[in-house]
Structure 1
């Protein structure tokens, strides 16, 4: 389990991490990390606007996905 791994690695601040996700289909995807002492890290993705696919990696022969 991750808490045991954090303890073995002497990463005690991480033993109280709380992760959360929010999903609003076709609108947004959010994930966040909080800690009891008040630390908060939050990332929000806008799903309402499509973005173009990146080019295929070097050496790839397959056509890009639609």
Structure 2
């Protein structure tokens, strides 16, 4: 079950850029935003983009708290 992002999730982003990413993901993907971020993280992992993997993990974790 996907976690629906809300304004509290957006404010929990670790920095201003993360907050913007969370806000845009919510606007684009709605209730599936966290799932979309996780898929982007998996894609980044397969492509060896470690910074993007770390960011996606951080964003998903921020939404889970």
TM-score normalised according to structure 2 size: 0.24
Bigger relative contact order (CA 8 A; separation at least 6):
2
TM-score normalised over the length of structure 1: 0.23
Instruction: From the two aligned structures, give the one with the greater strand fraction.
Output: 1
- Which protein is richer in helix relative to its size? 2
